[in-house]
Amino acid sequence: MQARNTRQGMSIACMGALVGLLALGPAVALGQEAPKDVLILGDSIMQAVARSFERQLGRHAGFQAASFTRIGSGLARLDVFDWHVRIEQLVAERQPGLVLVMMGANDNQPMQTDGNEVVQTRTAAWETEYGARIGRAMDILLEGGATQIHWLELPDVRDTHLQQDIESINQLIRTEAAARPQVTFQETRSVLSRTPGTYTAYVIQANGMPLNIRDRDGIHLNRAGADLLVTEMLARIWGL
């Protein structure tokens, strides 16, 4: 009876280990080692997250992490701050193997195309232009030598109008990522919202206690939220 229970315990343990491995995401599950030279990029939504990435990666041997974030920037106003040019400079300087990106919370605004046409938000023309800008950013990173890009989904926000634009931007990121095998669209809302698609300032921890993870503006993450998200990303990408 004891031997039978032991065998059953071992089977359950093996099954649990397999489920845990598959949950880590494609980079780990497929046996593809994720590079440890890391570049972290984004607008203000990435600032707290970038600091948490640097803190947590710094606890593990072999990692070299650098970050660049810019408040009030994005891909919509390249005339104000040209992310494409800056990304090209950063990959030339840092030569990262793996890049983490999260941006777009400032981008629900009209854009001027190369042909001097102004495209308005929530139009097919805007989506085409913005999707092309996302794709161009990804291509610059890949052309610069990055072997893996993990583009993080924008979190749900409190403002319902901005939430609709966030949904659209996330879908465009997902589409562009799907067209490039080296790019992974990392879902975050399952971590940062009790119901993905609906903003919540608090999530429920494993001990049943609520945890405040959002800044008072209803957009950004606070330190607890950033740490929560980064802990999940480290598990998915590197199995840490």
Q: Distance of alpha carbon 7 from its chain centroid, rounded?
A: 41
Q: Which residues neighbour 224 within 8 Å (Cβ) at sequence distance 6 or greater? A: 211, 212, 213
* Confidence label for 24 from pLDDT (cuts 50, 70 and 90): very low
Question: Mean pLDDT, the chain, as a whole number?
Answer: 89
Confidence (pLDDT) at 115 = 87
Q: Distance of alpha carbon 18 from its chain centroid, rounded?
A: 25
Within this chain, do residues 24 and 102 fall inside the same structural domain, yes or no? no
The answer on pLDDT for 11 being more than 50 is no
- pLDDT tens for each residue of 26-38: 443 334 699 999 9
Domain that holds residue 105: 34-238
pTM attached to this predicted model: 0.86
Within this chain, do residues 101 and 72 fall inside the same structural domain, yes or no? yes
- pLDDT tens for each residue of 87-118: 999 999 999 999 999 999 999 999 999 988 99
Within this chain, do residues 110 and 201 fall inside the same structural domain, yes or no? yes
* Confidence label for 25 from pLDDT (cuts 50, 70 and 90): very low
What does the alpha-carbon distance between residue 203 and residue 225 come to, in Å, rounded to a whole number?
9
Within this chain, do residues 63 and 177 fall inside the same structural domain, yes or no? yes
What does the alpha-carbon distance between residue 25 and residue 28 come to, in Å, rounded to a whole number?
6
Confidence (pLDDT) at 170 = 98
Within this chain, do residues 6 and 89 fall inside the same structural domain, yes or no? no
Within this chain, do residues 182 and 221 fall inside the same structural domain, yes or no? yes
The answer on pLDDT for 4 being more than 50 is no
What does the alpha-carbon distance between residue 25 and residue 31 come to, in Å, rounded to a whole number?
10
> CA-based Rg of the chain, rounded to a whole angstrom?
19
Within this chain, do residues 110 and 12 fall inside the same structural domain, yes or no? no
Within this chain, do residues 28 and 101 fall inside the same structural domain, yes or no? no
Mean pLDDT of 148-174: 98
Within this chain, do residues 2 and 56 fall inside the same structural domain, yes or no? no
The answer on pLDDT for 159 being more than 50 is yes
Mean pLDDT of 196-225: 96
Residues recorded for the chain = 240
Token couple for 162: 């901005």
The answer on pLDDT for 12 being more than 50 is no
Q: What percentage of the chain has pLDDT greater than the value 90?
A: 85
Confidence (pLDDT) at 151 = 98
The CATH number linked to 110 is: 3.40.50.1110
* Confidence label for 233 from pLDDT (cuts 50, 70 and 90): very high
Question: 30 to each of 65, 92, 239, how far by Cα in Å?
Answer: 24, 29, 12
Within this chain, do residues 87 and 44 fall inside the same structural domain, yes or no? yes
What does the alpha-carbon distance between residue 126 and residue 34 come to, in Å, rounded to a whole number?
34
- Judged by DSSP in three states, 231 sits in helix
Token couple for 99: 């890049």
Within this chain, do residues 11 and 69 fall inside the same structural domain, yes or no? no
Within this chain, do residues 150 and 39 fall inside the same structural domain, yes or no? yes
Tally of domains in the chain: 2
What does the alpha-carbon distance between residue 205 and residue 178 come to, in Å, rounded to a whole number?
32
Burial (Cβ within 10 Å: 0-12, 13-18, ≥19) of residue 87: buried
Of 21-25, 63-67, 90-94, 117-121, the least confident: 21-25
